[in-house]
């Protein structure tokens, strides 16, 4: 069976490529989806790529991943810095988690330096823009022991 990786995106990431290109780049969410799907195919993985602006929806999707997925990649957006609910759901999933950010959060405002999600993550990719999405799929593939095609 082909392993499934959930790639979840949090609030405002639907605006990618449409606002603040100096911070988040020119690629749209559809562009980063394409990059991630290309890497997933190379690793013989199925990618389930989603975005929501709602914390509870993200929590529900993490619960769903527990049943269906072999790993979770998550860019929780601003919920990174605030959401114990998302942290608890990730811990409960018992799945390998890759935390992902477009920007280098450590070069930004101090409130972005703390991540609740990092407590559940096996690793963190940040600061590589859209390319980070491909790197995150590589990392997830390694965590579930999936060989490259």
- How many residues line the site for ligand CA2 (CB under 6 A)? 16
Per CB under 6 A, contacts with ligand CA2 among 67-96 are 75, 77-78, 80
**Where is 73: in which H helix or E strand?**
strand 71-75
**Where is 58: in which H helix or E strand?**
helix 55-68
Note whether 61 and 6 are within 8 A (CB): yes
Binding status of residue 8 toward ligand CA2 by CB under 6 A: no
Binding status of residue 65 toward ligand CA2 by CB under 6 A: no
Q: Characterise 94 by phi-psi region: left (phi > 0), alpha (psi -120 to 50), beta (else).
A: left
Residue nearer to ligand CA2 on the CB measure, 80 or 83? 80
Which residues of this chain interact with ligand CA2, rule CB under 6 A? 12-13, 15-16, 19-20, 24, 75, 77-78, 80, 101-103, 105, 112
């Amino acid at each position: 069976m082909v392993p499934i990786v959930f790639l979840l995106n949090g609030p405002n990431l639907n605006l990618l490529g449409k606002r603040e290109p100096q911070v988040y780049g020119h690629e749209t969410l559809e562009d980063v989806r394409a990059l991630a799907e290309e890497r997933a195919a190379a690793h013989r993985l199925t990618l389930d790529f989603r975005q929501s602006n709602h914390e509870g929806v993200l929590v529900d999707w993490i619960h769903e991943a527990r049943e269906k997925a072999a790993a979770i990649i998550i860019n929780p957006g601003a919920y990174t810095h605030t959401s114990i609910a998302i942290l608890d759901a990730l811990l409960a999933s018992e799945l390998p988690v890759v935390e992902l950010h477009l920007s280098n959060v450590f070069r930004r405002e101090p409130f972005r330096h703390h991540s609740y999600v990092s407590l559940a993550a096996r690793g963190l990719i940040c600061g590589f823009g859209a390319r980070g999405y491909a790197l995150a799929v590589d990392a997830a593939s390694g965590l579930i022991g999936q060989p490259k095609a």
